[in-house]
Structure 1
Amino acid sequence: MPKNSVLTFLLIIGLCGCGGGSPSGWNAGSFRIGSNITPIRDIRPEQNNQDTVYIQGKVERQVPLLQRWAYQINDSTGKIWVVTNQTDLTAGKPVVIKGKVRYKSIPLASKEFGEVYLEE
């Protein structure tokens, strides 16, 4: 089989294999998007930041919320919480997630303890 045909075949198989994820995020396996991925350390906790970013990492923790889930994702540059409707993510599973950057202000004793997170 010619080299281009093998590459095309692998791309088609890879894309078909990603169909099990939700429409707004992908369960990655070894799938890599490349330059679209934002390192978690580069996501800034600015209150008006409404950027949409892609992150890639492994699920570390999960917390059930009312009608949603929160997952802590680690990409070796940092950790961030992602709020999503996905229910099938488990600890240690590699993921690629698209989400909007959100910031929750938490003022306490005249200090700011706000946290940045993603909402899928």
Structure 2
Amino acid sequence: MLWRPLAQFARFGGVSLLMGMVGCGVTTVRQVQEHPTRNWFNSTVQLKGTIGDRAPLIGAQVYQLQDETGTIWVLTTDTNLRSGERVVVQGKVLFQSIPIEGQEYGEVYIQELQREVK
């Protein structure tokens, strides 16, 4: 009758493992910005933070997503954004090159694929 306690332990362990993985997969802004060699570009990441400054574009807008490690621009087609909202964003990491007189002033940004208000 040893199998019953083992089955209960395995079930509890599986639930604990699943609960621990809920927070996995969230990348920090610093991780994206500091490790470009990690091949972030064109990969999908999940970021969690607060919507900050916003800037309108033709047919879209960008907003700053701020977490405890920094800020990054996020490109979205959604115009229903509110500064101060806590969100989880899934998006593609991209880089916009801005060369000026031989110097590179480009910036990493996120193209939003999905956003959830928390």
CA shift at 1:46, angstroms?
3.9
Structure number, greater radius of gyration: 2
Between stretches 94-103 and 40-49, larger displacement belongs to 40-49
> Greater RCO between the two (CA within 8 Å, min separation 6)?
1
Answering whether residue 44 of structure 2 is matched by residue 55 of structure 1, we say no
Partner SS for 1:95: strand
Q: How many residues align?
A: 88
Q: Aligned pair 1:73/2:62, yes or no?
A: no
The question of 1:83 aligning with 2:72 is answered no
| Mean CA deviation greater in 44-53 or 81-90 | 44-53
Aligned AA (1:72):
Q
Divergent runs of 4+, >6 A:
none
* AA matched with 2:25: N
CA–CA separation in structure 2 for the residues paired with 1:46 and 1:113: 15
Aligned letter for 1:116?
V
Matches within 5 A, 1:21-36: 34-36=23-25
Taking only the aligned residue pairs, the percentage that are identical comes to 40
TM-score under structure 1 length normalisation: 0.68
Stretches of structure 1 lacking an aligned partner (at least 5 in a row): 1-32
**Pair 1:64-2:64 in alignment:** no
Q: Is the 8 A contact 1:59 1:91 kept in 2?
A: yes
For 1:95, which of 70, 87, 101 is the aligned residue? 87
Aligned residue in 1 for 2:27: 38
Pairwise CA RMSD: 1.7
Q: When the two structures are superposed, what TM-score results if normalisation uses the length of structure 2?
A: 0.69
Distance 1:86 1:119 in 2: 12
Q: Separation in 2 of the partners of 1:43 and 1:95?
A: 17
